[in-house]
Amino acid sequence: MIKDLADRAQLRRFAWLSIAVAVATIGLKGAAYLMTGSVGLLSDALESIVNLVGAFMALAMLTVASRPEDDEHPHGHDKAEYFSSGVEGALILIAAVSIAVAAIERLAHPRLLQSVGLGLVVSAAATVLNLVVAIVLMRAGKREQSITLEANAQHLLADVWTSAGVIVGVGAVALTGWQALDSVVAILVAAYVLWAGGQIVVRSVHGLMDRAVPVDEQLAVQAVLDRYRPEGAEFHALRTRMSGSRRFITMHVLVPGAWTVHEGHVLLERIEADIRATVPNVSVLTHLESIEDPASWDDIGLDRGRNRRS
């Protein structure tokens, strides 16, 4: 457990990397906007500011999530990561609205772009930098099961695609002379950013609502349990939930009443060990019952007392 917490704490270095890149891209994209006067490039720079705020939030929540369980948080602090991804998603939505407002204003009052070639080169450099870091964060997030890093990476990837769109839009203005293209592309950027932010918020809400583990992991758990049914065991009240990178699985295990406590305990140890070997970063809690006792079949619901009264 100590090693796991130490590994989780090391994830903060990726947040620092994201912060450093956000500062660099703000400078590059801001310079590109000042060179060209493009509202599309301005929208790109504004999103990088959101990246910076999100990166600081990620750093704070990764710090909290790496803490061990305590008396007030007996299940650990992993769920703090959902606050980070939720806030970042909300910031992305705000950025999308800001981009759209700026684009509509510029559409009503177009302005000639300046120094387009140099501005596009600077913006392209910032885009490549974002792409490289996004790939690094996404790989780390999937490897360490960190929704915070994955959300940060998805935000950067959205930034990459929107930057590419802006570069195309500004380039099209330079080629065609149609100034409205800059604003049109910025509006399309806002729509895409709005969708990306919405996806991150939805995923964060699912996590805070104790959503079940992914279907493939549920099937893997069922496959483990199926191996023990020939030994006389049955299972019910199987529940799963996710908290950040950690999974929690609880179940009732029914065995013949003639078994000794030791026999039942040995079986539970084997089942729990097999599940831990199958599902990553999981905490398993089992409850032993007699298969012949009718009361054992009366506690499947979440609230046993309420089920009995009804």
pTM metric for this prediction: 0.63
Q: Where are the domains of the chain?
A: 2-208, 215-309
Superfamily designation of domain 2-208: Cation efflux protein transmembrane domain (1.20.1510.10)
Q: Give tens-digit pLDDT for 140-182.
A: 888 877 777 887 887 787 777 777 776 776 677 767 767 677 6
Please report the sign of the dihedral spanned by the C-alpha atoms of residue 201, residue 207, residue 210, residue 211: positive
Pick one of 3.40.50.300, 3.30.70.1350, 3.40.50.620, 3.40.30.10 as the CATH number of 215-309. Answer: 3.30.70.1350
Q: Give tens-digit pLDDT for 38-69.
A: 666 676 677 777 778 878 888 887 888 777 77
Asked if residue 209 lies in contact with residue 190, where contact means CB atoms within 8 angstroms, the answer is no
Q: Give tens-digit pLDDT for 247-283.
A: 899 999 999 999 999 999 999 999 999 999 999 889 9
* Fold match flag (2-208 vs 215-309): no
Rounded Cα–Cα distance for residues 286 and 300 (Å): 13
